[in-house]
C-alpha cells in the first residue's frame, strides 16, 4: 500500500499491526476513524516454509544465553504462533479496574475459539495424553484459535486465526497501512503526544506522521524502546518475564501418526510448572529437528512424541541504557525446569518413548515489561496525554497465560475507551 502524503493528520496512529494493533485498527476504522498503521515488517504472503519463516522472524537477546522470537510482518507474531488460546485472567484485570467481560464475550463470537475435536487429535497427542493420565496428571484439552470447519488434514497453518485478517478488514474500512515503517519515537508537545517519527526500510531518513491518538502496539520488547526514545523514564523498571521452556522428544517404535495441532493439551503442575503437548505437524517437526541438529529423525516423524516444559521464572531484568534487554535466570528457576523435565521424562517413558533428547532452552515469550497503574493507567494511557500502550508489554506477571486471546480482549477494551472518548 502506497502512502504519499506522509504528513497527513489521522484520528489514530497505530504502531505495529500484530495481535493488538490489528484489533484496534479494525475496531477504530469500523467507526469511521481515520487510522494509520505503521508496520516495521513487510506485507508478503504468509507461507509456512523455511523461506517464509526466515523472511519474517526476528530474534532479540533477553538473557546472556536466550533470545526471544517474534515476527515482523503484517499481523505480527500470529504469523508463526501455535494458536493455543488460554482464557484471559478476568479477575486479575478486574482487580486493576479493567473489566474485560464484555470484550471476551464479543471475541468468542468473532474468533474460532474452541477445544480441538477428538477427531482432530493425532495419534501422537493421544498416546502422550493417555500416558500422562495413567500417571495421574490432569492432562486436559486447551482452547485453540483454529477454524476446524476448514481443516482438510493438510492446511494446519492456514486454519490458524491470524491477526492479518483484522488488518485486511481495517484496510477495507479505509485504514492506511505503511509497511517497512519502523517507528523510533513519539513526537511530544509539552505533556501531549501529537505524532510519531519513523523511517522506511534501512534508510534512516526520518518521516513524521501526526494524529490525535498514538497507540504503541509494537510488541513487549519494541514498545519500551520507543517509550525510552521518547523520553519516558524508568521503562521496564520492574523487569519482565520470559517463561523459559524446553522440549523433550522421544521415539515410540509401535506408533504411526501424523495429525497434530501442537499445544492442544497439557497439564499444570505445582511450583509454576506447565507441561504442554509438543506434537507438531510435519513441517514444524522437521524445522525443530534441523534446529536441534537431529536431521536423521525426520524420516521417522510419525513415531515421535514430545512435551514442552514451561516454567514461571522470577520477574527481573532490565532494559539497559544502551537499549538492550538483560535478565539472569536464578537457581530456583533452574530447579523448576529440572522438576518439569523429570515429570516429562516419566510421561514419555511410560508412553513407550526411547532415545529421548532435550531441545535447547528457549525464551517462552518475553512479556510484562510495562506495568498497569505505574507506567500506564487503567485506560492504558502513559504519562503523556494521547499516548497509549497496548500489546504484550502490559500483561501482568501474576496470572500468566498464553497471551493471544487476552491481547485481543485488551485491544477491544482500549478501542471501546478510545471510541467513547
Ligand X SMILES: Cc1cc2nc3c(=O)[nH]c(=O)nc-3n(C[C@H](O)[C@H](O)[C@H](O)COP(=O)(O)OP(=O)(O)OC[C@H]3O[C@@H](n4cnc5c(N)ncnc54)[C@H](O)[C@@H]3O)c2cc1C
Shortest Cβ distance from residue 21 to ligand X (Å)?
Answer: 6
38 CB-near residues (< 8 Å, 6+ apart)? 13, 14, 15, 16, 178, 181, 183, 196, 198, 209
Q: By CB under 6 A, tell whether 14 contacts ligand X.
A: no
User: Binder to ligand X among 132, 143, 178, 183 (CB under 6 A)?
Assistant: 183
* 273-312 footprint of ligand X as x/- string (CB under 6 A): ----------------------------------------
- Confirm if 164 and 74 have CB atoms less than 8 A apart: yes
Residues contacting ligand X: total by CB under 6 A: 41
User: Binder to ligand X among 29, 124, 220, 375 (CB under 6 A)?
Assistant: 220
Q: By CB under 6 A, tell whether 403 contacts ligand X.
A: yes
- Confirm if 386 and 174 have CB atoms less than 8 A apart: no
Residue 115 parent element (H or E): strand 113-115
Q: Among the candidate windows 67-75, 130-138, 333-341, 377-385, which touches ligand X by CB under 6 A?
A: 67-75
Distance (Å, rounded) from C-alpha 187 to C-alpha 386?
Answer: 11
User: Which three-class secondary structure state does DSSP give residue 167?
Assistant: helix
Shortest Cβ distance from residue 58 to ligand X (Å)?
Answer: 8
Q: By CB under 6 A, tell whether 224 contacts ligand X.
A: no
Show the CA angle centred on residue 202, arms to residues 196 and 205, nearest 5°.
Answer: 50
Burial of 398 (0-12, 13-18, 19+ CB in 10 A): exposed
Q: Please report, as residue ranges, which positions from 83 to 142 form the binding site for ligand X (by CB under 6 A).
A: 83-85
Q: Which CB, 168 or 346, lies closer to ligand X?
A: 168
Give phi and psi for 94, each to the nearest 5: -55, -40
Q: Among the candidate windows 149-157, 219-227, 323-331, 343-351, which touches ligand X by CB under 6 A?
A: 219-227
Q: By CB under 6 A, tell whether 18 contacts ligand X.
A: yes
Q: Which three cell numbers stand for residue 158?
A: 492456514
User: Binder to ligand X among 81, 161, 240, 280 (CB under 6 A)?
Assistant: 81
Shortest Cβ distance from residue 40 to ligand X (Å)?
Answer: 3
Distance (Å, rounded) from C-alpha 192 to C-alpha 212?
Answer: 10
Q: Give the residue carrying C-alpha cell 534446529.
A: 291
Q: Which CB, 29 or 230, lies closer to ligand X?
A: 230
Residues at the interface with ligand X (CB under 6 A): 15-21, 38-41, 69-70, 72-73, 76-78, 80-85, 181-183, 217-220, 222, 226, 263, 365, 391-392, 402-404, 407
Amino acid at each position: 500500500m502506497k502512502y504519499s502524503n506522509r504528513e497527513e493528520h489521522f484520528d489514530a496512529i497505530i504502531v505495529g499491526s500484530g495481535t493488538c494493533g490489528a484489533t484496534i485498527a479494525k475496531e477504530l476504522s469500523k467507526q469511521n476513524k481515520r487510522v494509520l498503521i505503521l508496520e516495521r515488517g513487510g506485507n508478503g504472503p504468509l507461507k509456512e516454509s523455511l523461506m517464509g519463516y526466515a523472511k519474517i522472524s526476528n530474534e532479540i537477546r533477553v538473557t546472556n544465553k536466550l533470545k526471544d522470537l517474534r515476527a515482523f510482518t503484517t499481523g505480527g507474531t500470529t504469523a508463526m504462533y501455535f494458536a493455543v488460546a488460554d482464557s484471559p485472567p478476568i479477575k486479575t484485570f478486574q482487580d486493576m479496574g479493567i473489566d474485560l467481560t464484555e470484550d471476551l464475550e464479543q471475541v468468542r463470537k468473532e474468533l474460532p475459539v474452541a477445544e480441538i475435536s477428538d477427531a482432530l487429535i493425532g495419534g501422537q497427542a493421544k498416546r502422550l495424553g493417555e500416558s500422562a493420565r495413567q500417571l495421574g496428571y490432569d492432562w486436559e484439552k486447551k482452547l485453540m484459535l483454529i477454524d476446524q470447519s476448514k481443516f482438510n488434514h493438510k492446511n494446519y497453518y492456514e486454519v490458524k486465526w491470524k491477526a492479518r485478517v483484522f488488518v485486511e478488514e481495517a484496510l477495507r474500512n479505509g485504514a492506511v497501512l505503511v509497511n517497512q515503517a519502523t517507528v523510533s519515537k513519539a513526537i511530544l508537545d509539552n505533556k501531549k503526544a501529537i505524532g510519531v517519527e519513523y523511517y522506511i526500510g534501512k534508510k534512516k531518513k526520518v518521516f513524521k506522521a501526526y494524529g490525535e491518538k498514538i497507540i504503541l502496539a509494537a510488541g513487549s520488547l519494541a514498545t519500551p524502546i520507543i517509550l525510552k526514545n521518547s523520553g519516558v523514564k524508568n521503562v521496564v523498571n520492574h523487569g519482565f518475564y520470559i517463561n523459559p521452556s524446553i522440549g523433550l522428544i522421544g521415539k515410540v517404535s509401535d506408533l504411526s501418526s501424523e495429525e497434530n495441532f501442537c499445544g492442544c493439551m497439557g497439564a499444570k503442575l505445582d511450583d509454576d510448572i506447565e507441561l504442554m503437548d509438543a506434537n507438531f505437524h510435519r513441517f514444524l517437526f522437521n524445522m525443530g529437528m534441523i534446529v536441534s541438529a537431529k536431521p536423521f529423525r525426520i524420516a521417522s516423524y510419525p513415531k515421535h512424541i514430545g512435551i514442552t516444559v514451561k516454567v514461571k521464572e522470577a520477574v527481573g531484568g532490565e532494559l539497559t541504557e544502551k537499549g538492550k534487554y538483560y535478565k539472569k535466570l536464578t537457581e530456583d528457576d533452574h530447579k523448576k525446569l529440572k522438576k518439569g523435565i523429570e515429570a516429562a521424562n516419566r510421561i514419555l517413558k511410560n508412553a513407550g518413548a526411547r532415545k529421548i533428547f532435550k531441545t535447547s532452552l528457549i525464551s517462552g515469550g518475553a512479556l510484562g515489561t510495562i506495568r498497569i497503574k505505574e507506567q500506564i493507567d487503567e485506560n492504558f494511557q502513559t504519562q503523556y496525554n494521547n499516548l497509549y500502550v497496548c500489546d504484550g508489554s502490559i500483561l501482568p506477571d501474576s496470572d500468566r497465560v498464553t497471551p493471544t486471546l487476552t491481547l485481543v480482549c485488551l485491544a477491544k477494551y482500549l478501542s471501546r475507551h478510545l471510541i467513547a472518548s
